[in-house]
Amino acid sequence: MTTKKIAYQGEPGANSDIACRDVYPDWESLPCASFEDAFTAVQNGVADLAMIPIDNSLAGRVADIHHYLPTSGLHIVGEYFLPIHFDLLALPGTTPEMLKTVRSHVHALGQCRNVISKYGLRPVIAGDTAGSAREVAEFGDPTVAALAPPLAGEVYGLVPLASNVEDAEHNTTRFVVLARESEIPPVNGDLTVTTFVFRVRNLPAALYKALGGFATNGVNMTKLESYMVDGEFTATVFLADVEGHPDEIGLARALEELEFYTTELTVLGVYPGHPFRLASRS
């Protein structure tokens, strides 16, 4: 039996690797050097799915993903919310007093300022959180530590000098699962999310009017972001998430009204909403 593969951007032990293992524990995680490589792995059939981060509760949207998604030909078939935790990782036998520098991705360094200050460490920017753990293992220098997910410590043989050192407890990353074919769930009363991109007509109040249908039809829009395309300031595209299924009357009417005010409308995925959405409301 051939093991299915799920691609992700990053090195073994990265948060994306953790997300893959959490959702698809029996699959093989396929590390890729870039997001584009992860998309290509699915497009070419090297991987069955891709696990791609799209938002972080502290850092906001993940750069470039909104550019790749609409043109990739892939479909969102699921989502996953991963609480982000960092450990201060070092070589076995190292004590905090021995440390001088700490390596990690720029976002991780910014999200773990308290522990950096506590031990008086000099932050050094690395390209990847898990990659910084690999580098510490390769350097063999007991004065250098890494801020990385706990899994990275296991992968590269490092030990945690401090665990869960992130400054904010609510640090969470939302991932989307991408596939070559769409997998639209049935309308059965469960929470469903629909993601789409659209471009409004160049008319006064076009965006205001385009979004009016969601309000009047009681559709909850949980995400709306704009970005430029083709280097044109007037070519604004919007990426949106709404709670609902296109076959439900409310969202069907809202999308029909949206089309009247747009020049492009592309649904990127209709997929089950993760339980985190409901839990975060309570």
What is the helix (H) or strand (E) element at residue 233, kind and residue range? strand 232-243
* Contact predicate 58/179, CB 8 Å: no
What is the helix (H) or strand (E) element at residue 236, kind and residue range? strand 232-243
Structure tokens at 52: 């791609």
Instruction: Confirm whether 173 is a catalytic residue.
Output: yes
Structure tokens at 18: 């953790």
DSSP per-residue string spanning 57-101: TTTEEPTTHHHHHHHH--EEEEEEEEE---EEEE-TT--GGG--E
CA distance linking residue 126 with residue 77, whole number of Å? 32
Question: What would you report as the CA-atom Rg of the chain, rounded to the nearest whole angstrom?
Answer: 21
Crossing angle (nearest 10°) for helices 35-43 and 65-72: 10
Among 94, 129, 173, 262, which one carries the catalytic annotation?
Answer: 173
Among 35, 39, 86, 175, which one carries the catalytic annotation?
Answer: 175
Instruction: Confirm whether 129 is a catalytic residue.
Output: no
Q: SS3 for 160?
A: strand
CA distance linking residue 112 with residue 115, whole number of Å? 6
Catalytic residues: 173, 175
